Chain A
Amino acid sequence: MATEADDLKFRDPEAAQELAADIETQMERIDDPVEIMHVCGSHEQVIAKFGLRSMLPSDLSVTMGPGCPVCVTNMPEVDEAVALAEAGTTVATYGDMFRVPGTVKSLADAKAEGAAVEVVYSASEAVEYAAAHPDEDVVFFATGFETTAAPTAAVLQADPPENFYVLSAHKYVPPAMEVVAEMPDTDVDAFLAAGHAATITGYGLFEEFVDEYDTPVVVGGFEPLDVLYGVRRILEFVESGTSGLDNAYPRCVSRDGNEAAMSAIDEVFALTSGEWRGIADIPDANFVLREAYAAHSARRQFDVDPVSGDGDPLTEECICGDIMAGTATPEDCALFGEECTPQNPVGACMVSDEGTCKIRHEYGGHPEL
């Protein structure tokens, strides 16, 4: 399948122009506007950095959906982590989460006020920190999709020290795609699914989605030509009026995915419903620790009682949720680039390197190719 994708060479301008020309011809034949949603911050970085939008016809839009794990982490989840830090535990978390505002403050704010917060690069670094500091209770505030849920699961399976706990805010993408596909304001014709999450899950799991929502899904890689190739493949489905599933990233993605990683996730985590910040309450899209791991569950072992506030008054105006649902762009937000900047972010989309607003702020809407 998709052997052509194997042959593409990275950033070959001729190949890019050829693909763009194909896409333009396809759009002329389709004769209706088409909206493609991708669900990955790394896709957005590639699209913005290489100016791919400026190569596409104006009636073809490629928008970013709920693809930034930091952005969809709900403010009360940040409040929980802040409360644990302020109650005297050491909270370890990924750098991306450090400055994300809760309803009252961020972990960075808590640290500035004296709480113990450690930025770690990996789940195993958090475990090593706990092993090296046996007199501290170390809570790993674990965020991200399948690609980081698997490592969290792995360290819990590997008999971590007693003073190591997990506060899971891990999220599972496929149910969020269903919710976005069902939103009345969203007019998504097809999805470009994230390659590295699919490295874990396999692309086969999108079969049901394609059937149920009659929407094409193409798994795409992260070089500019991968993205353009994925778009062209999607338009083939759109033009023929069929839904279908294709793997345009065979270098890294197989049908069944990484079964070792999936079984680790499945053994450690159960899925539960919960709020994705600004988007919706999404069924079965939040990973929580199973009972067998209760001894390492921060929610089970500590009386987490977060102080919650109303948030920065400016968050009332923040439209992160609409942006992540694909119904608004950063430019539609009155705060974008004004009150809300990477230095002083109001919403999470401006904090994370994978947030739509931060990427747009960094590269602009129509950067140089």
Chain B
Amino acid sequence: MCLGVPGEIREIDGTEAVADFWGVERRVRLDVVGDAVEVGDYILNHAGFAIRKIPEREVEETMAIYESLFGDDVDEALDEIGAPRGADIDLGGEQGDAEAEAEADAAVPGDTDGD
């Protein structure tokens, strides 16, 4: 619950937005982000809410950090953005393994809402 995840804003409708997280689009609320956010900006998403706009100069480094953090663990990244396991997620370098892992996981029924 403490870990925010960065995503790129794709659409905005009032306080509702759609953000792209490594190829997976999720809805994000902008109620408490505290800054003006535009399409193309990156935000730190926390449980469906943007809690910070990431300054442009920090975007590249922030994304690299998260890609490394989740590089070998696609499930963890999916959990952090609340996406269903098996969603098409692209974490860069470890892509091949990650996709295979996600597919393997998607084939196993159950535990979609446990934790």
Contact = CB atoms under 8 A, between A and B. Distances in A.
B68 A154 contact: no
Contacts of B115: 95-96, 98-99, 351-353
B2 A260 contact: no
Contacts of A99: 114-115
Given A10-B65, A251-B62, A252-B52, A199 B4 contact: yes
B47 A122 contact: yes
Given A259-B34, A261-B32, A94 B1 contact: yes
Interface in B85-115: 113-115
Contacts of A158: 15, 31
Given A67-B2, A119-B113, A196 B31 contact: no
Nearest to A250: B58
Interface string A144-156: 1101101101110
A196 B3 contact: yes
B40 interface: no
Interface string A88-126: 000000111011000000001000000000010111110
Interface string A241-259: 0000000000110000011
A354 B79 CA distance: 13
B65 A223 contact: yes
Contact of B68 (A11, A108, A124, A157): A11
Interface string B39-54: 0000010111101101
A69 interface: yes
Contacts of A222: 3, 69
Interface of B: 1-4, 15, 27, 29, 31-34, 44, 46-49, 51-52, 54, 58, 61-62, 64-65, 68-69, 79, 82, 113-115
27 contacts: A41-B1, A67-B2, A94-B47, A98-B115, A119-B114, A121-B48, A122-B47, A122-B49, A122-B82, A123-B49, A148-B47, A150-B51, A151-B32, A151-B47, A154-B29, A155-B31, A158-B15, A195-B2, A199-B44, A199-B52, A251-B58, A252-B4, A258-B52, A260-B32, A260-B34, A351-B115, A353-B115
